[in-house]
Structure 1
Amino acid sequence: MYTLLGGDGVPYQSPTPGTFGGYKPMRIYGRLDCRSALRHIAAGHYVPHRVFFADEVTAVTAGYRPCARCLPAAYREWKQQS
């Protein structure tokens, strides 16, 4: 079982892994292969505050913003709406 964060911000158990990861303190979400996030994880950061989402819609609904590094188009769109 995998622990994912729902659109309401509440964790739940899922038989399938999430497709997006997030960093809870900054409320950022991105791809699981994001080079920036992987660099922080390798340095020992992020891990205690890492959350996972089933999909991008759920991450946005939970109040997270797109990562500027791995989701630049979504980030630009979010920035224009902010």
Structure 2
Amino acid sequence: MSDQRAYTLTGPDGRSYSSPVKGTWGGHRGNRIYGRMDCPAALRAIAKGVYVKNRVFFVDESTAIVAGYRPCWSCCRDKYQAWKAAKGKDESCRKDL
């Protein structure tokens, strides 16, 4: 009998895979948001039972970003503000085209 636990993580391509390593970041598949495992907003949603079926996990933050997820406003405000500012710059560049 194996004591090795397998965790289901989301890779940079957005696909799930089995890993012996526990994810360090969580996310919501539908909203494409990632955040800390102790995020107060995510924990409230989980307690209500509305978040669990769309919950995903990432081995690290860079994997979440490459997979197309954005930072959570609640637990990653600095990163969210930087993402929002970069998004605004991208949209203003598109208007010039």
Relative to the length of structure 1, the TM-score reads: 0.98
5+ residue gaps, structure 1: none
Q: Of Structure 1 and Structure 2, which has the larger fraction of its residues in strand?
A: 1
Counterpart residue number, 1:26: 31
* Identical amino acids, percent of aligned pairs: 56
Question: In proportion to residue count, which structure has more helix?
Answer: 2
**Alpha-carbon deviation of 1:16?**
1.0
Equivalents in 2 of 1:51, 1:14: separation in Å?
13
Relative to the length of structure 2, the TM-score reads 0.83
Q: For the pair shown, which has the larger CA radius of gyration, 1 or 2? A: 2
Unaligned ranges ≥5, structure 2:
1-5, 88-97
Q: Supply the distance in 2 between the matched residues of 1:10 and 1:72 (Cα, whole angstroms).
A: 26
The count of corresponding residues between Structure 1 and Structure 2 is 82
**Structure with bigger RCO (C-alpha 8 Å, 6+ apart):** 1
Question: Over aligned residue pairs, what C-alpha RMSD do you find?
Answer: 0.4
Amino acid in the other structure paired with 1:48? K
